[in-house]
């Protein structure tokens, strides 16, 4: 998939307009579309890298990327979302490949963890993630923890 630019930045490097677009997309999908009132602003954005796929000034897809913790734990990817206006174009695959590549640049020999919505296990499995927990509810939505053993770069 081409036709987009990839941008990854710390929170403080984003302009107010860029941050607004990210938060609007996350709230539109995770809170409104999924009918799941929960604290979307969770205090973790300051520790994350914010990865965006952008075209014509619009955020088409987004993910948060976290480097390994001080305890040497794995990298993490979260808040993976594709704009409803751009679905059906394999942007979920593209944003995940870019996020995996970013983890590979940050900590190449470190595993990557995700908390996946349970219905997306096959999708994440196609990217090398393996379920490592039983299904559980997070904010009323079934999830499963998944790990990708190595964060080698896979973006194209």
The reported pLDDT for the residue numbered 71 is 61
Structure tokens given for 56: 């014509």
As a three-state string, the secondary structure of the chain is: CCCCEEEEEEHHHCCHHHHHHHHHHHHHHHHHHCCCCCCCCCCCHHHCEEEEEEECCEEEEEEEEECCCCCCCCEEEEEEEECHHHCCCCHHHHHHHHHHHHHHHHCCCCCEEEEEEHHHHHHHHCCCCEECCCCEEECCEEEEEEEECCCCCCCC
The reported pLDDT for the residue numbered 155 is 46
Please report the domains of the chain, with CATH numbers, ordered by start residue.
Answer: 5-148 (3.40.630.30)
> Which pLDDT tens digit goes with each residue over 50-74?
999 999 889 999 999 999 975 668 9
> Which pLDDT tens digit goes with each residue over 13-50?
999 999 999 999 999 998 898 888 878 888 899 999 99
The reported pLDDT for the residue numbered 76 is 94
Structure tokens given for 141: 């939505």
The answer on pLDDT for 153 being more than 80 is: no
The reported pLDDT for the residue numbered 17 is 95
Instruction: Spell 87-108 as b/e; 16+ CB within 10 A means b.
Output: eeeebbebbbbbbbbbbbeeee
């Amino acid at each position: 998939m081409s036709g987009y630019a990839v941008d990854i930045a710390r929170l403080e490097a984003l302009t107010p307009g860029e941050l607004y677009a990210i938060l609007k997309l996350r709230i539109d999908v995770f809170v409104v579309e999924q009918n799941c009132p929960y604290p979307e602003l969770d205090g973790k954005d300051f520790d994350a890298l914010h990865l965006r796929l952008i075209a014509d000034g619009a955020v088409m897809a987004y993910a948060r990327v976290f480097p390994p913790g001080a305890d040497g734990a794995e990298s993490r990817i979260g808040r993976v979302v594709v704009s409803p206006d751009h679905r059906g174009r394999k942007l979920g695959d593209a944003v995940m490949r870019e996020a995996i590549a970013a983890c590979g640049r940050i900590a190449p020999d470190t595993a990557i963890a995700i908390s996946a919505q349970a219905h997306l296990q096959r999708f994440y499995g196609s990217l090398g993630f393996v379920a490592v927990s039983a299904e559980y509810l997070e904010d009323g939505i079934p999830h499963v923890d998944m790990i990708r053993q190595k964060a080698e770069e896979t973006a194209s």
